[in-house]
Amino acid sequence: MITVPVELGPRRYQVMVGEGVRHHLARVLPAGARQAAVVTQANLAPWLADLDPGVPFEVHTIDDGEEAKSTETVSELCRAFARSGLARSDVVVAVGGGVVTDTAGLAAALYHRGTAYVNVATSLLAQVDAAIGGKTGVNIPEGKNLLGAIWQPTAVLCDTEVLSTLPPREWASGRGEMAKYAFLTGKAPDTGLLEMALPEQVAFCATLKAAVVAEDETEAGRRVVLNYGHTLGHALEAAAFADGDLRHGEAVAMGLVFAAMLARRLGRIDDERVALHRRVVAGFDLPVDLPDGSDPEVLVGFMARDKKARHDLTFVLDGPDGVEPVRGVGSGDVLATLADMAAARSGA
């Protein structure tokens, strides 16, 4: 087992990585918890059979997919917690991927104005990113994660054993976040992360994220760099919300290439650096081009409402000093970059 600390003073907690770490759940529950509410999804039933939080618990199942990340789901969970007699001193246990950890985490943050929660991350995406750092949230039609709170878990368990059942596109979704971290190490980005054993891959990403979160918990400064590739990524996800045929990591991968092309247009990096982005993203077996039928005007509209925006178009972009936030980007440059991506896809 590998242990990664998230250093937040008295709210310090650990990310535990390895095969079978879900069996450590009972020992990471907060002191004084006498009851647990386990939030999960129906397809994770096999992993619940031997889950033991060490206290009486009820299981609350939410739907699959981004549609489950809604205010309605959060309300239903909080009402279920109340009916079961869950106290503020008890604990919510989120067992699942990013949809579950985001939604259950927000319900925990709101219930009794803050109830402890533990994340048992079962997807690669959740283990390398979503379950760590305390950002919880749900979607509204106007954009992804526009409603949320920063509410830190008391522990995160990343059981790599459960990843054996992931379908290929869920692996791709997690690799999208891993590719992002390849550009945030301060070294020349490459695909070397993929040469590590799986627990080491997860721990590597968790360590990078933990360091950034410890420095800037509320995203007032450096933490914004963790959104690299996400502004277009979230816009693509929002535009595809109706059919859901786009995974988060796939969208982030496209967003990384877009961010590089936008940085080049703004004179921050050169063609060689853009080509490097494309090689690294492709090396993670991820898409580098926009989906067919993408509407640039619609995407810009979603980007303007993205949670990172501050009354302007804000992007995290590569540059001479590395990846950093850039505010006040003109919509004309964004539209032109989207046109460049479309041209690259068509070979024009």
Location of each CATH 1.20.1090.10 domain in the chain: 168-346
How far is the C-alpha of 126 from the C-alpha of 219, rounded, in Å? 19
Architecture of domain 2-165: 3-Layer(aba) Sandwich (3.40)
Residue 215 designated active-site:
no
Residue 60 designated active-site:
no
Architecture of domain 168-346: Up-down Bundle (1.20)
Choose, from 177, 217, 237, 250, the residue flagged as catalytic. 177
Identify the residue whose tokens are 């929660």: 117
Per residue of the chain (348 residues), give pLDDT as tens: 999 999 999 999 999 999 999 999 999 999 999 999 999 999 998 888 899 999 999 999 999 988 999 999 999 999 999 999 999 999 999 999 999 999 999 999 999 999 999 999 999 999 999 999 999 999 998 888 899 999 999 999 999 999 988 998 899 889 999 999 999 998 899 999 999 999 999 999 999 999 999 999 998 889 999 999 999 999 998 887 655 578 899 999 999 999 999 999 999 999 999 999 999 999 999 999 999 888 999 999 989 877 555 667 889 999 999 999 999 999 999 999 999 998 877 565
Choose, from 27, 83, 113, 187, the residue flagged as catalytic. 113
pTM here is 0.92
Residue 247 designated active-site:
no
Contact assessment for residue 96 and residue 60, using Cβ atoms and an 8 Å cutoff? no
Provide the 8-state DSSP code for 291. P
Residue 200 designated active-site:
no
Extended strands (E) in 42-142: 57-62, 91-96, 116-121, 135-140
Contact assessment for residue 136 and residue 148, using Cβ atoms and an 8 Å cutoff? yes
3-state helix, strand, coil in the chain (%, to 5): 50, 15, 35
Three-state DSSP class for residue 151: coil
Location of each CATH 3.40.50.1970 domain in the chain: 2-165
Residue 311 designated active-site:
no
Three-state DSSP class for residue 307: coil
What stretches of the chain show up as alpha helix (H) in DSSP? 25-28, 45-48, 71-83, 98-110, 124-125, 168-182, 198-215, 230-239, 248-265, 271-283, 296-305, 331-346
